[in-house]
Chains A and B, each alone.
Chain A
Amino acid sequence: DTAVSQTPKYLVTQMGNDKSIKCEQNLGHDTMYWYKQDSKKFLKIMFSYNNKELIINETVPNRFSPKSPDKAHLNLHINSLELGDSAVYFCASRLTSNGELFFGEGSRLTVL
């Protein structure tokens, strides 16, 4: 069973389009995250949700909107895609009381 699963794994789209990436975790964790990994492999936090509530919202363009319908899901919607949005986006989860982050396999977004 996959602990943290993201879909799609690959996404190629044109500039200006709107796209979504979905994430689900079956670990019973109460906190979920979205991270962006650029071409230099730097992993930067974008958002964090705790029990469906937004906790961390780093300096991210408001074209990015996370949505958490329940504790097990955290989706990422991106409007008006730009070339600079090309990256690998990782979903992760953990129990607030425990430090270990569990990551999904990543979603590679390519904007043409």
Chain B
Amino acid sequence: TQLLEQSPQFLSIQEGENLTVYCNSSSVFSSLQWYRQEPGEGPVLLVTVVTGGEVKKLKRLTFQFGDARKDSSLHITAAQPGDTGLYLCAGASSSGSARQLTFGSGTQLTVLP
């Protein structure tokens, strides 16, 4: 079983601060995704990274895929209350004819006004 560990598990910061969330595994993934989940809703895809070392930016969010494709990070600049939510990384691997996503343990982010 491939495991994805996220850290920190909980993060509470003030509006305007920067933060980084980490997603680590001992397994290699063909691609890695980040999702955000708000209370009472399902996770929503933020980004997919495919190439080792790849960096993608989505406004104030910066995503990086590790060179060995085993880890990833999400950096948020000048966090806002609207960034509050559960952030989940998910690694994709091929399993026979099906591609399976393994989700990380999650990081609950709270941004205080």
Contact = CB atoms under 8 A, between A and B. Distances in A.
A45 B42 contact: no
A90 B49 CA distance: 24
A50 B96 CA distance: 12
Contact of B103 (A31, A44, A100): A44
Given A55-B98, A106-B41, A43 B103 contact: yes
Interface residues of A, number: 23
Contacts, number: 62
Given A41-B106, A43-B88, A106-B42, A101 B101 contact: yes
Contacts of A45: 100-103
Interface centre among B31, B43, B92, B95 (most CB of A within 10 A): B43
A90 B42 contact: yes
A56 B105 CA distance: 21
26 contacts: A4-B42, A31-B98, A40-B105, A41-B86, A41-B108, A43-B43, A43-B106, A45-B102, A48-B98, A55-B98, A90-B43, A92-B42, A96-B98, A99-B92, A99-B99, A100-B33, A100-B48, A101-B35, A101-B43, A101-B45, A103-B42, A104-B42, A105-B41, A106-B40, A106-B41, A106-B42
Interface of A: 4, 31, 35, 40-45, 48, 50, 55-56, 90, 92, 96, 99-101, 103-106
